A and B are shown apart, each in its own frame.
Chain A
Amino acid sequence: MQRFTQLFLEVDRTTRTSEKTAALRRYFEDAQPRDAAWALAVLTGQKLIRRVSYKRLRQWAGEVTGFDDWLLSECHSSVGDLSETLALILPPADAPGPSGEPLHRVVEERILPLPLMTETQQRDAIRKAWKTFDGHERFLFHKLISGNFRFGAARKVVINALAAAADIDPAVMQHRLAGTYTPSVENFEALLRGGDDVEDPARPYPFFLAHQLDDDPADVLGDVADWRVEWKWDGIRAQLIRRAGQTLLWSRGDELITDAFPELRAVGDRLPDGTVIDGEVLAWDGDKPLLFGQLQKRLNRKRVELMLFMDVPVVFMAYDLLEHAGDDQRAHSTDQRRETLEQVLIEDEALRLSQLVEAESWEQLADLREESRAHGVEGFMLKRADAPYGTGRTGKGLWWKWKVDPYTVDCVMIYAQRGTGRRSTLYTDYTFAVWNGKQRGEGELVPVTKAYSGLTDEEFAKVDKFIRDHSVGKKGSFRQVKPELVFEIAFEGINESERHKSGVALRFPRVSRWRTDKQPEEADTLVDLKRLLAKRV
């Protein structure tokens, strides 16, 4: 536990990826394989057990400390994290300093048996742990039984560090870790064995990424005939790979997501060997994509339940071909690659071709772009007809994303709530309102949306101070605030909603700026918002 705790602190104390990687590498090199096998499972996001209920933990902590629930809540709300809160308020352990218990014993003897115990047994086990672990170890013990431990290093960083410790190519390590890793000394040592799994058929190509176009294309991109235009899909960018009799789906985050999308694996299985297609995974309904959130439901679970499989149908929207008959196609032009892509594609309801949008002029395209929202897309992708497929963000000027502007509305802040995690001591989650009268400043302010992101730390601090100084009431974690500050809220769409008092719900709302130049009477009205609702196709 001590070495693992040290690793956690080293990773937690730096924001530099190179230092996190170095700390992880040292850990994998030093730690006992029995311990490291478990650490790797935790670091790559595996849950050790179904979590011990927060309610029980709080109750037992209350018994041990003698603190009432309201005081525990007050503490929890200040800290923003229950594992940490409990670690801080519980009485010191029997002996100060590290427990000296190795991680594998903590996991195997204290944690894994928890779900099999009765409530009383669980309580005794947890109370015993509280007497053994203190400080950071106690905090980590809570994290390990919480089921949502997010270590401060991305999976990719962990894999790179492990690859460095084993002295092999990170892509090979990624492949070795693809699928299910079952923590055991044998499996861990197998991962670390040297050698290159040569000619790795699993390896994706680096993705080519577009730059954001902020200018008028007519001014900067020349003749429209030199460009191929597609809708810009809002899904998961992915490569569908069919090689060596195996289908793999890699996301842009270099994660293997094949298991989450069995219908796309089935598509891949029908493709000829030696094919790699670049495209977008989309939740799809009839003729247009569903919201990204629908897709996330699928990603978040390891085994796709049949219901969800049917509720959220998924397609692969193909738009580029990177490998054909085992040959790298990337040096060919956009037009050539598309021509081959069209030949390669097979009939399948889960496979679609991202159609080209034809236009005579940039003006005509600009008009068409206004329809983006009706199509459920974010705007256009512009690809130079003669461009090769590049790497990452190199090759600026070849691929552009030309997105539609978000909607905006000026709202008044009326409630505030503390943030979580990094921002748990600040009021950073706000509820915003618009006027329900005919004119601005008339009627009442009715809440329309909550939003949090979009302000700088400095602005957050100022707004936070305002909230503390202008609080007119408090209910639970909410503070009612004097309606004085005006913010511009950007959002991507609007829906009718019975759940909201205002009758509307905004999609992807976020604070785009603080309108210090506006008085609350100048905020927008519900009528303004409902007008957008009418415009929606």
Chain B
Amino acid sequence: MGRNLVEPTDRGLYCAAGDFFIDPWRPVDRAVVTHAHSDHATWGCDRYLCSEPGVEVLRQRVQNDADIQGVAYGELLDLNGVKVSLHPAGHLLGSAQVRVEHAGRVEVISGDYKVQPDGTCDAFEPVKCHRFITESTFGLPIYRWRDDAEVTADINAWWRDNQEAGRTSVVFAYALGKAQRILHSVDASLGPVVVHGSVQRFNDVYRAAGVALPDTTTSTEESRKTCKGVGLVVTPPSTLGTPWLRKFAPYSTAFASGWMAIRGNRRRRGVDRGFVVSDHADWPGLLQTIADTGCESVGVTHGYTQALVRYLRQQGMDADIVPTRYEGESDTEQTGETTDESG
């Protein structure tokens, strides 16, 4: 295994030749960060490197005075003799794959990625490499996403039905990424939109980056008055059952997540509707991407690692599990710290 440029360590993925970590989960000297979700961006590193559009997003996540260097997608950097470049991952604003090249060998670490473009961030681009480390959050064939436009039409129709029934429409979505994607795609001419403070913070960052979002306000006595019964509320799932949310009653609830592809998940959440909106690659997306990279070996991390590795090996590929502190295979990261874990 020693021939790989990037290897797992107890602090995260590490490139020894270049002496830097990728998405470490403990503070290190130099962290290359694929995107600003809290399971990829840890607080307290000395120096951060991320994509240019990702700088302001990451700044919301790490210490105020953090040293964050942004690089344009595709721009080549030299870190201790290792060539490093970042490439769009389509997961959220500023999300990147990390390409590492040294002594003629190229490895790409995907971070989290989504293949279909969505208009809130740069679209995913496959990158040729010898070894590809891929996420596998939805690495089972039960996960196949429908066309975004169909899901958006469903959300708009649900919103209209709720208006007829005099109910507020509440969409639970992670505060960073998913929330903005929903806001970007819904038909905001239907009614007023209120968002939770944690969503608004990232809305501002997205708007500053030029992403088109409808007008949104946080919850105030005035905004609630205009929103109640007709408006849309976009809020993290952790607000379910809180007094903050109850002020919008009566409402209908929906959860926007890839996990909603499974009926049992929606029922367990106790929401009225599940909209299958994911910021990750589905099963066909994972397989297509692996093929597109032309890689000869695949490292599988973060999700259904065992199943995907076994499947790839059966297809004659060289595949192995790349361990992470975070066990994927779960849609339970729903409370407290990991509220904006994406799904």
Chain A contact residues, CB within 8 Å of chain B: 12-15, 65, 67-68, 70-71, 74-75, 78-81, 84-85, 88-89, 421-426, 457-458, 461, 464-465, 468-469
Report if B268 contacts A (CB, 8 A).
yes
Query: Given that A67-B141, A71-B307, A469-B327 are known contacts, is A79 also in contact with B334, CB under 8 Å in the complex?
Result: no
Name the contact of A13 in the complex, choosing from B262, B264, B273, B304 (C-beta under 8 A).
Answer: B273
For A136, give the chain B residue with the smallest CB separation: B263
Query: Given that A71-B307, A75-B142, A85-B142 are known contacts, is A457 also in contact with B330, CB under 8 Å in the complex?
Result: no
Which residues of the partner chain B approach A12 to less than 8 Å between Cβ atoms?
Answer: 263
A465 touches B310 (CB 8 A): no
Report if B270 contacts A (CB, 8 A).
yes
Name the contact of B270 in the complex, choosing from A15, A65, A79 (C-beta under 8 A).
Answer: A15
Query: Given that A68-B314, A85-B142, A461-B335 are known contacts, is A422 also in contact with B330, CB under 8 Å in the complex?
Result: no
A89 touches B141 (CB 8 A): yes
B332 touches A461 (CB 8 A): yes
Q: Which 7 A-B pairs have the closest CB atoms?
A: A88-B142, A468-B327, A424-B264, A89-B141, A422-B267, A422-B268, A74-B307
Name the contact of A423 in the complex, choosing from B140, B142, B264 (C-beta under 8 A).
Answer: B264
A464 touches B332 (CB 8 A): yes
CA distance A423 to B144 in the complex (A): 21
Report if B272 contacts A (CB, 8 A).
yes
Name the contact of B264 in the complex, choosing from A80, A461, A464, A465 (C-beta under 8 A).
Answer: A80
Chain B contact residues, CB within 8 Å of chain A: 140-144, 259, 261-265, 267-268, 270, 272-273, 304, 307, 310-311, 314, 327, 329-332, 334-335
For B254, give the chain A residue with the smallest CB separation: A13
Task: List 23 A–B pairs whose Cβ atoms lie within 8 Å, in order of A's numbering.
Answer: A13-B273, A14-B272, A15-B270, A70-B310, A71-B141, A78-B140, A79-B142, A81-B264, A88-B142, A89-B141, A89-B142, A421-B264, A421-B267, A422-B264, A422-B268, A423-B268, A425-B264, A425-B330, A457-B268, A458-B335, A465-B332, A468-B329, A469-B327
CA distance A81 to B261 in the complex (A): 13
CA distance A435 to B60 in the complex (A): 50
B263 touches A426 (CB 8 A): no
Which residues of the partner chain A approach B261 to less than 8 Å between Cβ atoms?
Answer: 88
Given contacts A88-B142, A425-B262, 15 further A-B contacts (CB under 8 A): A12-B263, A15-B270, A71-B311, A74-B140, A74-B304, A78-B140, A79-B262, A79-B264, A81-B264, A88-B143, A89-B142, A425-B265, A425-B330, A457-B268, A461-B334
Which residues of the partner chain B approach A425 to less than 8 Å between Cβ atoms?
Answer: 259, 262, 264-265, 268, 330-332
Which residues of the partner chain B approach A468 to less than 8 Å between Cβ atoms?
Answer: 327, 329-330
Closest CB in chain B relative to A424 CB, distance in Å: 4
Closest CB in chain A relative to B172 CB, distance in Å: 15
CA distance A468 to B263 in the complex (A): 22
Which residues of the partner chain B approach A84 to less than 8 Å between Cβ atoms?
Answer: 262-264
Closest CB in chain A relative to B31 CB, distance in Å: 23
Query: Given that A68-B314, A468-B327 are known contacts, is A426 also in contact with B332, CB under 8 Å in the complex?
Result: yes
CA distance A14 to B252 in the complex (A): 9
CA distance A71 to B143 in the complex (A): 13
For A92, give the chain B residue with the smallest CB separation: B144
Which residues of the partner chain A approach B270 to less than 8 Å between Cβ atoms?
Answer: 15
Query: Given that A68-B314, A84-B263, A424-B262 are known contacts, is A78 also in contact with B332, CB under 8 Å in the complex?
Result: no
Which residues of the partner chain A approach B140 to less than 8 Å between Cβ atoms?
Answer: 71, 74-75, 78
